[in-house]
A and B are shown apart, each in its own frame.
Chain A
Amino acid sequence: MAPRELDDKPPFWRDVKVLAWVFQLVILALVLAFLAYLANNVRVNSADLGIPVGFEFLDQPSSFTIPGNDLRESQPVRDALVEGALNTLRVSIVGIVLATVLGILIGIGRLSGNWLLSQITRVYVEVVRNVPLLGLVIFAYLALVLAAMPRIEDAWQLDSLVTVSNRGLVVPWLTGPGLAFLGVVVLAFVVGVLVAGWRQRVAARTGQPPRDLLWAVASFVVLVLVGAALVGNGLSFPSLEGDQIEGGIIMQPEYFALLLALVIYTASHIAEIVRGSIQAVPRGQFEASSALAFSGAQRMRYIILPQALRIAVPPIGNQYLNLMKNSSLGFAISFFELTKVASTSIGNRSPAVPTYLLLMAIYLVFSLIISALVNTVNRRMQVE
């Protein structure tokens, strides 16, 4: 037998590269076959039951109504799903903002030198993090909002600003000329941000204390007042007429309960992230800022938080995703977000499989949008 040459190629059935591809293709074929099997089953079973598999049902009347919304039964399923998606977004966006603020405050509180504050925030985090969110949602709805809130006849009122009853929470809202007023508010906000930036530049140039927040708030308030005088605020204030509430905007009890539970729960997770990130800032940064005679609040605001939040952005972004997905627990208290709308419409003769696939697709899109936003923020905040 002749000695084998070193550059001899092995036969193809022993070539590692070929084998790797064969192995992968076999697995791919198995997975595809399984998916095809499932799809075929859906087709056959649906045909047996006389259920369509396409998405034509989106244009058929939904035959259900959504509380607190003027959607009619004759409107197509599509509109109901859009309304559900809007409700999911409403609770998610407001929840994300509130949970971030509360979470950062509690995270800072946990590291406070004040013993009482750090212990109370610790108890809060340890209690809330370790109970099922669904339990919090049900508790907030049944035991707090429905049971503890007064009936409409003896609603709590704070002048005409806030009205709280088991019908929900009513606050003043914009009507008619209000849109112009809303524009004024947005404009005032932008101007406020610009003013803050200007003050910071001046401070950097002259070494004067910036007082940027003060300036920004002052210019915002002045502009809003001037705008209100010019276009009229168009606010409609809620008033109690017997057992009806006129005017204002009502926050449904279901919405309020879900929002409350989501904010409380997510804030406890964000607080832990913030605490970990603050502790990850090197000790020298604390000592250096103290040596430069920064006060406690200044040190937090200018030295520690900017560095800590940079570390905290990716995990906090994960919490935002979780909050958006967890808003589906509104299902359990009949808050008509996406999941509830989808399952209600299945109860009203929408085909189950396409509806759920659509539901998943919408959640996936929302998830992708949130992670894209978080990634952008993360890239911007990194130091080159």
Chain B
Amino acid sequence: MVTWLRKNLFRSVGDSITTIVIGSLAIWVLYRFLRFVFVTGRWEIVRTNLSLFITGSWPEDELWRVVVAIVAVSFMAGLIAGFIARQRREEVPDDAEPGRPWLLDILSRTWPLLLTVLLLLSLAQTVGPWLLAVGSLAAFAAGRFIGPLLPRRSGAALVVAALVVGLSAVWLLVAGVEFDSWGGLLLNLFLAAISIALCFPLGVLLALGRRSQFPILRTMSTSYIELFRGVPLIALLLMANVALGFFIPTDLAPGKVVRAIVILVLFTSAYVAEIVRGGLQSVPIGQIEAGRALGLSPVSVTRLIVLPQALRNVIPALVGQFISLFKDTTLAGAAMGLTDLLAGPQASTAQPAFRGQGLIAETLVFVLLIFWAGSYTMSNESQRLEARLGVGER
């Protein structure tokens, strides 16, 4: 203990001064923060407005749609996780598996998310959220259990099934409630999920275009990418909000949420294209030449040889981009007046019951905690993935 202190905190005079100064500063900040959370913070506003933060003004009668969608998606996620886990067990010999008990492993990887969910549940005033949490957990566990039992070659079928489940979940949500009533965390998650799914193919096409040998195609892809990377997202969103009616016939102009999705997709696909381009460049030229030598057409070489290797190399970077897309969905709230999660604090502190009481810090801290838990867990997982794929080590 003493040697540890010596070695890590008080190695020299300068080191000791640093430790003492930084340590007291840290203790002060921690004290202020804990005092705010447990003593001075007035959290009643969060409890009262919990549904505003999570689902916006989504009608209560239609909440079952959210529940069904989440449970279905959890089941599907569990199925895929189980399927992949078996695949991996077979590729990697058993003794290479980490010796940690699986429960501890999951806890150490997802504790921010779990703590936040528990916090949300503890604030809930009805039994509904508990049922949802237990239900989706059970669905995930069931999927995780069934996944390894599936036939070995059902990968493609699983992808199709995931698409079907995803699309039906989207349809279930969209069909029931007008986009204008959407809000809260639900809106942020929905915007992020839809935009991620749509921007990926577009980004890959743009990257291929930028790397292609056709000069016109290359110029067009490059200009698109540089154009969208050179302007701020919020300016694009504002433009879509105010000026879209000029560009397309007014009766065709979609609602705000659709506009936000279109802009997020167009914007993020430019960034995805640059990431994928990096991946394409990392595939050795010999791979392409070997493919051609085998008599494959250029399209087949790209599809069967280049893309699989390129995409595998950039998975961590793509996850990072998707995390920032999740965070960027908040701009849609600010620029278009949607009541997303980050609009919650200002909306709730403007309510007659809470106005003028200086509760903005409480609500903002609560909202930022939710964003932090999601992004932090995702970014940790992407780092694990990076280590496992051995990116940059070959």
Chain A residues within CB distance 8 Å of chain B: 20, 23-25, 27-28, 31, 38, 41-42, 45-46, 113-117, 120, 126-127, 129-136, 138-139, 142-143, 147, 325-326, 328-329, 331-332, 339, 342-343, 346, 352-353, 356, 359-360, 363-364, 367-368
Smallest Cβ-Cβ distance to A366: which chain B residue: B230
- A-side interface mostly: helix
- Contact A352/B227 with A134-B342, A139-B364 known, Cβ cut-off 8 Å: no
Quick check: A332 and B334 within 8 Å, CB to CB?
yes
Please give, as numbers and ranges, the residues of chain B lying within 8 Å of A147 by CB-CB distance: 358, 360-361
CA distance A41 to B153 in the complex (A): 51
Q: How many Å from the CB of A143 to the closest CB on chain B?
A: 4
A28 touches B22 (CB 8 A): no
Q: Given the complex of chains A and B, what is the CA–CA distance between A27 and B243 in angstroms?
A: 26
A117 CA / B10 CA spacing, docked (Å): 12
Q: List 10 additional contacts besides A132-B328, A132-B342, A353-B247; criterion CB under 8 Å.
A: A24-B216, A24-B217, A113-B8, A117-B19, A131-B327, A134-B334, A136-B368, A139-B364, A360-B239, A363-B231
From residue B214, how far is it (CB to closest CB) to chain A in Å? 5
Give every chain A residue within 8 A of B49 (Cβ-Cβ). Answer: none
B18 touches A114 (CB 8 A): yes
Residue interface bits B177-215, CB-to-A below 8 A is 1, else 0: 000000000000000000000000000000000000011
In the complex formed, the residue of A with least CB distance to B326 is A132
Chain B 2-25 near chain A by CB (<8 Å), digits 1 or 0 = 000000110100010011001100
Q: How far is the CB of A297 from chain B (nearest CB, A)?
A: 9
Q: Are B345 and A328 in contact (CB under 8 A)?
A: no
CB < 8 Å neighbour of B342 from A126, A138, A346: A138
Known: A41-B249, A356-B239. A131 touches B11 (CB 8 A): no
Bound-state Cα–Cα, A41 to B247, Å: 5
Q: B238 and A343: CB pair below 8 A?
A: yes
Q: Tally B residues with Cβ within 8 Å of A.
A: 55
| A356 CA / B9 CA spacing, docked (Å) | 54
Q: Output the nearest chain A residue to B215 by Cβ-Cβ distance.
A: A24
**Is the beta-carbon distance between A134 and B331 smaller than 8 angstroms?**
yes
| A381 vs B283: C-alpha distance when bound (angstroms) | 28
Task: A28 to B18: give the CA distance in the assembly, Å.
Answer: 62
A364 and B243 contacting across the interface, CB-CB below 8 Å: no
With CB as the reference atom, state the residue of chain B lying closest to A48: B250
Inter-chain contact A142/B371, CB cutoff 8 Å: no
- Does B145 make an interface contact (CB < 8 A)? no
Closest 6 pairs between A and B when the two form their complex, measured CB to CB:
A115-B8, A130-B375, A328-B232, A132-B327, A325-B232, A367-B230
Choice from B231, B246, B358, B371 contacting A131 with Cβ under 8 Å: B371
